[in-house]
Structure 1
Amino acid sequence: MRRAITLMLFLSLLQGALAWAALGSAPSNFDGATTTQTKMAARSLAAATANATTAVYTVSQSTLDSGTIVREYTDANGVVFAVSWNGPTLPDLRTLLGDKFTAMTSNAEKRPKAGHSQLAVNQSDVVIVSNGHMRAFAGQAWIPSALPAGFDTSTIE
């Protein structure tokens, strides 16, 4: 029994290592997911010129087989600066958060076990907000230093 648990843990870690990283790097590759992209312009009060309509980031929306919707916000260089998820199951957060996943897990370890349906991480290099319960999970994460000028984090869906 112990060998089976060790093998399952090893395989899940191996899967995470082979997955594409997202937050802070290239967009994720969700096998079998339906993806759409929308180019957006960040609006800034200081940038009320013709340049304000230039696309400065792209939102890619993927619908996973489970029905969960994942959105990745990518800057003009193709780097993901924010992600969000909403649906009946959690997406593979190791894939979605990339190297920022360790910030989430280390903060989760410090919390008391009771009432663990919400997690908030607010660090200088990453902000992660995740909450939910069975069949209703939602969350978002972003890298504050990578946000495009004029981007409002309240617009992350």
Structure 2
Amino acid sequence: MRHAFTLMLFLSLLQGALAYAALGSSPSDFGGGKQIRQAARSLAAADTGAVYTISQATLDSGTVVREYVDANGVVFAVSWNGPTLPDLRTLLGDKFTVMTSNAAKRPKAGHSQLAVNQADVVIVSNGHMRAFTGRAWIPGALPAGFDTGTME
């Protein structure tokens, strides 16, 4: 019995180690989704030299996920749009707990929108069955001149 428990504990730890976190970390691996990596885009102000990459994945559900990755390979913003929610635990990484704790404080009626605006993360999510959109970013990690209003 002790060996079975040890094996289960080891496998759960291994699963956590294999999971990818996105926001504030490396890009996600949604497995099974068709991924399209777009070319690096320069920001509007050419003299800043800031460059970021948009990594786009179309999940099997049809939901499109975009991750905005800085020159160091760190995701500073994410967005989603589609008929189902993506795996937000994977997409938001450790910021997922911020979202869930804020959602838990809200009354259950009319819970189709969520807005979290904190110093370390901004999350805006809304929608209903077959039409979900959202975006999240780390304010302190945004490249100079990046406009969160243009995130798709």
Tell me the TM-score normalised to structure 1 length. 0.83
Structure 1 CA distance for aligned equivalents of residues 28 and 107 of structure 2: 31
The offset of 1:89, in angstroms, is 0.4
Structure 1 CA distance for aligned equivalents of residues 119 and 73 of structure 2: 22
- State the partner residue of 2:101: 106
Amino acid at match of 1:63: T
Matched ranges for 1:24-103 at <5 A: 24-38=24-38, 39-44=40-45, 48-49=46-47, 56-103=51-98
The total of aligned residue pairs comes to 139
Amino acid at match of 1:20: Y
The DSSP-based 3-state class of the residue aligned with 2:119 is coil
Structure 2 CA distance for aligned equivalents of residues 73 and 142 of structure 1: 9
Stretches of structure 2 that go unaligned for 5 or more consecutive residues are: 1-11
The offset of 1:135, in angstroms, is 0.4
Amino acid at match of 1:56: V
The DSSP-based 3-state class of the residue aligned with 1:27 is coil
The DSSP-based 3-state class of the residue aligned with 1:114 is coil
Provide, for residues 108-154 of structure 1, a one-character-per-residue CA deviation record: whole Å limited to 9, x for no partner: 00001100000000000000000000000000000000000111111
Stretches of structure 1 that go unaligned for 5 or more consecutive residues are: 1-12
Percent of aligned pairs sharing the same letter: 75
Q: 1:133 to 1:16 in 2, by over 3 A?
A: farther
Q: Is the 8 A contact 1:16 1:95 kept in 2?
A: no
Structure 1 CA distance for aligned equivalents of residues 143 and 50 of structure 2: 11
Provide, for residues 11-61 of structure 1, a one-character-per-residue CA deviation record: whole Å limited to 9, x for no partner: xx98984521000000000111111122111113xxx54xx6x56100010
What value does the CA root-mean-square deviation take over the aligned residues? Answer: 1.9
Q: 1:56 to 1:95 in 2, by over 3 A?
A: same
Q: 1:100 to 1:65 in 2, by over 3 A?
A: same
- State the partner residue of 1:127: 122
